[in-house]
């Protein structure tokens, strides 16, 4: 199942978990309104790929890796410090990811939440943090790492609780929910003060605190994030195509020069003019022929290949092939057309199709992990540059009086995703991305 959520600015986060199956194909169809005039000449496929699509793959598991057990093993000398750090990072990352997703789900449909729903989440969060704090390592090196992790998780839990207090609808249970969450926040604040995790200057400066926690988050994610190496495919083929096109055109140029010499005789002004025309034609047709041959040879083939390496052992654990191209509506699969529900007003849409096929070697994963999670950050800032500034004037008639209102200009981008597993199980989903020039306003899932 794919989840789509808006991030800061114009970014859309597309996340999905690759289960125990080793092969997975992912298709993203981005439908951009035709009025924006997007095409391959304005933003090429390569430019969009390198500037608007950023992927990150991490280990994922539904089973908790208890740092308590590993801490005891480390203290007895049965577990190395590197293994302990990795275990703690895995535990912290799983907790942070789960809490982030749960908070997002509670706010997603903007419905009233009962005290029991929020209480269940709050109790689970508190229980996981208590489990983490039961066993504090005695080794000074491990203790420093533990303190950094505990510091971040405490602050992160507080931030998620405060976001719920701020954004949850004011229903019947809101007062009790607010009291419950604020109590957790106060306890976590006191916990950080008691352990002297942050300086007074950092505590008083929210910008400094936020930047520090961002670095601690990177510390947590580094051991669980797979290293990536991107290789652009077709470089050697492009050289061969360029050479073939140049040689093919030169054959005709040479034949034309021989023919011109036979007709015009010695080197004269007429011969020089013919020679100039022939070489000018060569430059024009050489580029056109090269472009035509390149498109024919590379049609339907992947443009990039990614290799994934374990951040701890540097072992190759997976590969991924990627495509990105502009497609016409008529070339879409019938199942995608059916989900899009194409109408007359949408015929001018520009469609970008991103496709990836992934093969992971789960036997080379970290012990206990048989799944990976891919998060694709889709940055739509390049598209917003095509949007007009300003607002529209809307007039309304109410009680016999005419009122004028300024309404911001918004655009609707449709996103359709399709997952295809190794057993050919297909899951298709659709979202509406509502955005203006300055930000993404909302993302609506369409059932």
Rama region for 405: left / alpha / beta (φ>0; ψ in -120 to 50; rest): beta
Residues 6+ apart with CB under 8 A from 150: 132, 133, 195, 197
DSSP structural state of residue 225: B
Q: Which of 224-233, 287-296, 385-394 has the lowest mean pLDDT?
A: 287-296
State the average pLDDT over residues 274-281: 68
The confidence band for 389, taking pLDDT boundaries of 50, 70 and 90, is confident
Helices (H), 76-173: 81-108, 115-133, 140-167
State the average pLDDT over residues 433-445: 89
Query: Nearest Cα to 71, choosing from 132, 137, 134, 133?
Result: 137
CA 422 to chain centre: 22
> Which pLDDT score is estimated for 77?
53
State the average pLDDT over residues 217-240: 82
Tokens of 41: 């000449």
Query: Nearest Cα to 353, choosing from 39, 25, 29, 53?
Result: 29
Is the distance from CB of 335 to CB of 1 less than 8 angstroms?
no
SS3 32: strand
CA 62 to chain centre: 22
String of b and e for 148-167 (b: at least 16 CB within 10 Å)? Answer: bbbbbbbbbbbbbbebbbee
> Which pLDDT score is estimated for 14?
93
Domain ranges of the chain: 2-230+302-446, 234-298
317 vs 264, higher pLDDT = 317
pLDDT single digits (tens) 103-128: 888 887 677 888 888 898 899 899 88
Distance of alpha carbon 325 from alpha carbon 354, whole angstroms: 7
Q: Does residue 202 carry a pLDDT above 80?
A: yes
Measured CA angle at 220 (ends 165, 216), to 5 deg? 65
The confidence band for 178, taking pLDDT boundaries of 50, 70 and 90, is very high
Q: What is the DSSP string of 38-83?
A: --TTTS-HHHHHHHHEEEEEEEE-SS---HHHHHHHHHTTSS-HHH
Q: Is the pTM for the entire model greater than 0.85? A: no
The confidence band for 404, taking pLDDT boundaries of 50, 70 and 90, is confident
CA 100 to chain centre: 16
Distance of alpha carbon 308 from alpha carbon 218, whole angstroms: 18
Instruction: Tell me the β-bridge partners of 308.
Output: 228, 318
84 vs 234, higher pLDDT = 84
Q: Does residue 328 carry a pLDDT above 70?
A: yes
3-state helix, strand, coil in the chain (%, to 5): 50, 25, 25
> Which pLDDT score is estimated for 82?
77
> Which pLDDT score is estimated for 313?
83
237 vs 213, higher pLDDT = 213
> Which pLDDT score is estimated for 66?
45
Distance of alpha carbon 316 from alpha carbon 86, whole angstroms: 18
> Which pLDDT score is estimated for 312?
80
pLDDT single digits (tens) 29-87: 999 998 888 998 899 998 999 999 998 998 887 665 444 455 555 555 566 777 778 87
State the average pLDDT over residues 374-388: 90
The confidence band for 218, taking pLDDT boundaries of 50, 70 and 90, is very high
> Which pLDDT score is estimated for 264?
61
Q: Does residue 271 carry a pLDDT above 80?
A: no
pLDDT single digits (tens) 137-177: 878 888 898 899 999 999 999 999 999 999 888 888 888 99
Is the distance from CB of 242 to CB of 290 less than 8 angstroms?
yes
CA 53 to chain centre: 6
SS3 252: helix
Query: Nearest Cα to 59, choosing from 360, 415, 411?
Result: 360
Highest average pLDDT, of 163-172, 348-357, 381-390, comes from: 348-357
CA 56 to chain centre: 7
Query: Nearest Cα to 241, choosing from 284, 285, 286?
Result: 286
> Which pLDDT score is estimated for 94?
84
């Amino acid at each position: 199942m794919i989840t789509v959520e808006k991030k800061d600015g114009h970014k859309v986060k597309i996340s999905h978990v690759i289960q125990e199956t080793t092969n997975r194909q992912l298709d993203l169809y981005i439908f951009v309104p035709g009025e924006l005039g997007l095409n391959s000449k304005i933003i090429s496929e390569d430019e969009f790929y390198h500037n608007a699509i950023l992927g990150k793959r991490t280990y994922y598991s539904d089973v908790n890796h208890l740092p308590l057990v590993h801490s005891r093993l480390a203290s007895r000398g049965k577990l190395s410090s590197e293994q302990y750090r990795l275990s703690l990072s895995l535990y912290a990352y799983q907790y942070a990811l789960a809490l982030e997703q749960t908070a997002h789900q509670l706010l997603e449909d903007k419905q009233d939440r009962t005290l029991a729903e929020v209480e269940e989440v709050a109790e689970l969060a508190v229980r996981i943090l208590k489990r983490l704090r039961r066993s504090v390592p005695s080794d000074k090196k491990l203790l420093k790492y533990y303190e950094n992790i505990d510091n971040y998780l405490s602050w992160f839990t507080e931030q998620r609780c405060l976001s719920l207090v701020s954004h949850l609808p004011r229903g019947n249970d809101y007062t009790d929910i607010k009291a419950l969450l604020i109590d957790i926040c106060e306890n976590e604040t006191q916990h950080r003060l008691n352990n002297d995790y942050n300086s007074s200057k950092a505590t008083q400066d929210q910008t400094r605190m936020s930047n520090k926690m961002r670095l601690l988050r990177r510390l947590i994610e580094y051991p669980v994030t797979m290293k990536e190496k991107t290789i652009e495919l077709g470089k050697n083929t492009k050289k061969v195509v360029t050479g073939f096109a140049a040689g093919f055109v030169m054959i005709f140029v040479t034949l034309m020069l021989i023919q011109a010499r036979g007709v015009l005789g010695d080197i004269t002004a007429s011969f020089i003019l013919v020679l100039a025309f022939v070489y000018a034609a060569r430059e024009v047709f050489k580029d056109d022929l090269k472009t035509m041959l390149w498109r024919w040879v590379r049609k339907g083939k992947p443009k990039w290949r990614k290799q994934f390496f374990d951040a701890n052992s540097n072992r190759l654990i997976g590969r991924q092939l990627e495509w990105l191209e502009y497609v016409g509506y008529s070339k879409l699969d019938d199942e995608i057309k059916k989900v899009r529900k194409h109408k007359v007003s949408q015929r001018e849409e520009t469609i970008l199709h991103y496709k990836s096929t992934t093969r992971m070697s789960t036997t080379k994963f970290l012990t206990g992990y048989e799944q990976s999670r891919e998060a694709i950050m889709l940055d739509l800032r390049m598209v917003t540059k095509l949007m007009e500034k300003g607002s529209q004037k809307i007039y309304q008639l109410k009680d016999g009086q005419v009122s004028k209102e300024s309404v911001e200009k918004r655009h609707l981008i449709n996103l359709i995703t399709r997952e295809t597993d190794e057993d050919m199980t297909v899951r298709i989903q659709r979202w509406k991305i509502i955005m203006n020039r300055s930000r993404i306003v909302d993302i609506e899932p369409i059932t």
